[in-house]
């Protein structure tokens, strides 16, 4: 991808695993498994292209009300991803950061997550933020309450520091697959000036070429941040 203006930070709303599986007459868990594989493939591709930060929406706070059976399958995927396959994950030399309230997860998964984040803390080839039990409204309300408990007013800079993305630049580009055209409580504060890209493809089918198409589309956009165009 030459002569292209790459985003420093991209975020993925990985929607459509269930429908992708259903179309193949397979259970939803099959779609989630394919979704994790695709996530790893696309993250690697993004880092290879020179994108430094990738954020993925792995489980929203609202997803936690899904049937227990589906949640157990998703938890098993977390177990494999953070536990059994940890070597593969730490091989990437990418720092892994988990955003969201993981205290609701089974304890063994919480431990695996802490181990991975500790083991990768010094890596600097890239940053991977994995949002689990994450909800943007909840994040904003928590930040407001923290400011109130400190008894202080905030400005934009100090408020940002109270969010779970403290120290991380806002996403330049948010890609959502699966055909829905909304943010679904994802990074609402941070997305103020993000470029949005929606694909009708289901997440497991969204491949490297699709990512490159999204990046080319981003590159052609004019980001004005509320300002007027340069001559």
Q: Burial letters for 114-149: b for 16+ Cβ neighbours within 10 Å, e otherwise? A: eebeeebeeeeebbbbbbbbbbbebbeeebeeebee
**Who's near 43: CB < 8 A, 6+ residues apart?**
54, 56, 94, 128
Residue window 95-114: x/- pattern of binding to ligand FPP, with contact defined by CB under 6 A? --------------------
Stretch that binds ligand FPP, among 8-16, 44-52, 158-166, 221-229 (CB under 6 A): 8-16
- Minimum gap (Å) between residue 182 Cβ and ligand FPP: 12
Q: At what angle do helices 68-78 and 107-119 cross, to 10 degrees?
A: 30
Which of 10, 14, 127, 175 is close enough to bind ligand FPP by CB under 6 A?
14
Residue 135 makes contact with ligand FPP by CB under 6 A: no
Residue 30 makes contact with ligand FPP by CB under 6 A: no
Residue 146 makes contact with ligand FPP by CB under 6 A: no
Which of 9, 10, 11, 15 is close enough to bind ligand FPP by CB under 6 A?
15
Active site residue 125: no
Distance CA 75, CA 29 (A): 11
Strand, helix or coil at 53? strand
Residue 17 makes contact with ligand FPP by CB under 6 A: yes
Residue 126 makes contact with ligand FPP by CB under 6 A: no
HEC sequence for 100-127: CCHHHCCHHHHHHHHHHHHHCCCCCCCE
Distance CA 19, CA 89 (A): 27
Active site residue 15: yes
Joined together, the tokens standing for residue 175 give 């890609």
Stretch that binds ligand FPP, among 76-84, 115-123, 161-169, 187-195 (CB under 6 A): 76-84
Distance CA 116, CA 121 (A): 8
Residue 10 makes contact with ligand FPP by CB under 6 A: no
- Minimum gap (Å) between residue 188 Cβ and ligand FPP: 18
- Taking the least distance from each CB to ligand FPP, the nearer of 143 and 199 is 199
Q: What's the count of helices (H) and strands (E) in the chain, helices before strands?
A: 8, 6
Q: Which residues are catalytic?
A: 15, 63
Which residues are at the interface with ligand FPP (CB under 6 A)? 14-19, 28, 32, 35-36, 39, 58-59, 63, 77-78, 81, 130, 178
């Amino acid at each position: 991808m030459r002569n292209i203006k790459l985003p420093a930070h991209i975020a993925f709303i990985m929607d459509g695993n269930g429908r992708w599986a259903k179309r193949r007459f397979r259970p939803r868990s099959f779609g989630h498994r394919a979704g994790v594989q695709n996530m790893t493939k696309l993250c690697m591709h993004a880092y290879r292209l020179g994108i430094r930060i990738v954020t993925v929406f792995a489980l929203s706070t609202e997803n936690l009300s899904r049937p227990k059976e589906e949640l157990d399958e998703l938890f098993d995927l977390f177990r494999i991803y953070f536990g059994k396959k940890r070597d593969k994950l730490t091989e990437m030399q990418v720092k892994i950061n988990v955003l969201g309230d993981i205290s609701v997860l089974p304890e063994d998964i919480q431990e695996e997550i802490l181990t991975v984040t500790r083991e990768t803390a010094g890596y600097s080839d890239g940053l991977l933020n994995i949002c689990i039990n994450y909800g943007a409204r909840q994040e904003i309300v928590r930040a407001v309450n923290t400011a109130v408990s400190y008894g202080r007013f905030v400005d934009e800079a100090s408020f940002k520091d109270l969010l779970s993305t403290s120290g991380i630049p806002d996403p330049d580009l948010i890609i959502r697959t699966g055909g829905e055209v909304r943010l679904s409580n994802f990074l609402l504060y941070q997305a103020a000036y993000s470029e949005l890209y929606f694909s009708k493809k289901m997440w497991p089918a969204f491949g490297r070429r699709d990512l490159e198409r999204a990046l080319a589309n981003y590159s052609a956009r004019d980001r004005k941040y509320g300002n007027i165009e340069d001559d």
